[in-house]
């Protein structure tokens, strides 16, 4: 198989799936890396983007619980940087160990990635990005009472979660650095947690409180570094229309135009599948290349997932 430049977007929920301990998250990352080895063994230039919704939400709750004049809570952009660093460290460590075990001579690097956003983005007036743990109705009442500035929504039938602003990425400040690393065959971890949101203020950059959608950031990065393919991971092997209904339909090879029509019909939940679909459409229409939405477990046969292109054809 010809080697490719591949960007894989990994969800934060795949890393934290109930047990929030460092040990459990590291164990999940080790399982994830086992699936990514297929790309590395093929000689592909691999970039890994990852989410941090559960992790940054947990960190913010911890910060709020211990907030004091002597030990003040950090702002959201700093919390994104902190979780970007911790998850990047776990991923880098697991990759290093897997490479050594398989006698593969490749380097791994984590890039602390800043994403430039528009300070006037409407997202700051309408928080929509779920972060943190899923809460019951009783738990969310307690959390809302203890943190009056927090906003919560019901998330896809799985419980309540805090929501924060999620502005669109305009540019990735470190995209040239990442492209240079990838060109040198360095396995690169970037855009962790969607990247640290910053905005331009004259000749300087300032952090701003938000969490950028990691699929949107991964799409922007994939386009910037001229990736051959964008793979967005989710909890199911394929995207569906009429999901969980008697007439549900699994999507195999589809065009971005078809996917856009289904999205316009409200087929994809805003808090889960819709951002992935939108990112895939954007990448395909921006670059003319292919995007795939599938599960981690399906990575050995990604062509069996939902493959999106501008014209119907199979993955080469």
Domain that holds residue 102: 5-116+169-309
Of the listed ranges 80-84, 297-301, 308-312, the one predicted with least confidence: 308-312
The reported pLDDT for the residue numbered 269 is 85
Q: Are residues 191 and 244 located together in one domain of the fold?
A: yes
Average pLDDT, the chain: 92
**Count of CB atoms within 10 A of residue 102's CB?**
11
- Given a cut of 60, whether residue 316 has pLDDT beyond it is no
276 catalytic? Reply is yes
Nearest to 155, CA basis, from 274, 265, 16, 60: 274
Q: What is the DSSP string of 158-197?
A: S-EEEEE--PPP-EETTHHHHHHHHHTT-EEE-SGGG-EE
Q: Is residue 122 part of a domain?
A: no
Of the candidates 11, 12, 192, 194, the residue annotated as catalytic is 12
Q: Is residue 121 part of a domain?
A: no
pLDDT classification of 1: cutoffs 50, 70, 90: low
Average of per-residue pLDDT across 71-98: 95
State the DSSP code for 75: P
12 catalytic? Reply is yes
The reported pLDDT for the residue numbered 312 is 54
Q: Is residue 225 part of a domain?
A: yes
- ∠ at Cα 260 (267, 315), nearest 5°? 105
195 catalytic? Reply is no
Nearest to 150, CA basis, from 124, 119, 123, 127: 127
Average of per-residue pLDDT across 54-81: 90
Of the candidates 11, 13, 58, 238, the residue annotated as catalytic is 13
* C-alpha span between 166 and 194 (Å, rounded): 9
Q: Is residue 13 part of a domain?
A: yes
Nearest to 213, CA basis, from 191, 198, 246: 191
Q: Are residues 105 and 81 located together in one domain of the fold?
A: yes
pLDDT classification of 18: cutoffs 50, 70, 90: confident
- Given a cut of 70, whether residue 315 has pLDDT beyond it is no
Of the candidates 88, 276, 289, 305, the residue annotated as catalytic is 276
Question: Which comes out higher in pLDDT, residue 87 or 12?
Answer: 87
Q: Is residue 314 part of a domain?
A: no
Q: Are residues 215 and 104 located together in one domain of the fold?
A: yes
For residue 290, the cross-strand partners are: 229
Q: Is residue 18 part of a domain?
A: yes
Of the listed ranges 64-68, 76-80, 182-186, the one predicted with least confidence: 64-68
Task: Tell me how far CA of residue 199 lies from CA of 36, 115, 116, 171, 209, in angstroms.
Answer: 33, 8, 5, 10, 11
Q: Are residues 210 and 248 located together in one domain of the fold?
A: yes
Q: Are residues 86 and 222 located together in one domain of the fold?
A: yes
**Total structural domains within the chain:** 2
Q: What is the CATH number of the domain that holds 83?
A: 3.40.1160.10
Q: Are residues 94 and 133 located together in one domain of the fold?
A: no
Per residue in 100-155, pLDDT tens?
Answer: 999 999 999 999 999 999 999 999 998 888 887 788 888 888 888 887 778 888 87
Helices within the chain (DSSP H only): 12-15, 22-41, 53-65, 76-101, 137-146, 175-183, 214-224, 256-264, 273-287
| CA-based radius of gyration for the chain | 19
Q: Are residues 31 and 46 located together in one domain of the fold?
A: yes
Q: Are residues 100 and 218 located together in one domain of the fold?
A: yes
Helix (H, G, I), strand (E, B) or coil at 63: helix
Of the candidates 53, 88, 193, 214, the residue annotated as catalytic is 214
71 catalytic? Reply is no
Q: Are residues 102 and 144 located together in one domain of the fold?
A: no
Structure tokens at 84: 């970007």
Of the candidates 52, 57, 129, 271, the residue annotated as catalytic is 129
* C-alpha span between 43 and 24 (Å, rounded): 29
The pTM of the whole model exceeds 0.75? yes
pLDDT classification of 17: cutoffs 50, 70, 90: confident
Q: Are residues 159 and 173 located together in one domain of the fold?
A: no
Helices (H) and strands (E) counted in the chain, each on its own, are 9, 17
- Given a cut of 80, whether residue 39 has pLDDT beyond it is yes
Q: Are residues 136 and 60 located together in one domain of the fold?
A: no
Average of per-residue pLDDT across 288-303: 94
214 catalytic? Reply is yes
Q: How far is CA 2 from the centre of its chain?
A: 26
Q: Is residue 316 part of a domain?
A: no
The reported pLDDT for the residue numbered 314 is 46
Q: Are residues 26 and 136 located together in one domain of the fold?
A: no
The reported pLDDT for the residue numbered 128 is 83
Average of per-residue pLDDT across 166-193: 96
């Amino acid at each position: 198989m010809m080697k490719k430049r591949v960007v894989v977007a990994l969800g934060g929920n795949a890393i934290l799936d109930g047990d929030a301990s460092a040990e459990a998250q590291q164990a999940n990352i080790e399982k994830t890396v086992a699936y990514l080895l297929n790309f590395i063994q093929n000689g592909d230039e691999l970039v890994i983007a990852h989410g941090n919704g559960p992790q940054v939400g947990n960190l913010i709750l911890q910060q709020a619980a211990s907030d004091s004049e002597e030990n003040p809570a950090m702002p959201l952009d700093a919390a994104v940087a902190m979780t970007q660093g911790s998850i990047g460290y776990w991923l880098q460590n697991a990759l290093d160990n897997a490479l050594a075990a398989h006698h593969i001579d490749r380097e791994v690097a984590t890039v602390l990635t800043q994403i430039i956003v528009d300070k006037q983005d409407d997202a700051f007036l309408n928080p929509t990005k779920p972060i943190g743990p899923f809460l019951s109705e009783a738990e969310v009442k307690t959390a809302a009472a203890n943190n009056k500035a927090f906003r919560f929504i019901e998330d896809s039938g799985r419980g309540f979660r805090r929501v924060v602003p999620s502005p669109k990425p305009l540019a990735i400040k470190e995209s040239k650095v990442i492209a240079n690393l990838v060109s040198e065959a360095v396995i690169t971890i970037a855009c962790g947690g969607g990247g640290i949101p910053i905005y331009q203020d004259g000749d300087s950059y300032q952090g701003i409180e938000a969490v950028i959608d990691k699929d949107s950031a991964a799409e922007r990065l994939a386009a910037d570094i001229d990736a051959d393919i964008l793979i967005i991971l989710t909890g199911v092997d394929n995207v569906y229309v009429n999901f969980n209904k008697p007439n549900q339909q699994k999507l195999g090879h589809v065009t971005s135009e078809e996917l856009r029509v289904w999205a316009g019909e409200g087929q994809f939940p805003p808090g889960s599948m819709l951002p992935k679909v939108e990112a895939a459409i954007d990448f395909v229409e921006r670059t003319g290349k292919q995007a795939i939405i599938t599960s981690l477990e399906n990575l050995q046969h990604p062509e069996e997932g939902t493959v999106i292109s501008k014209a119907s054809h199979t993955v080469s």
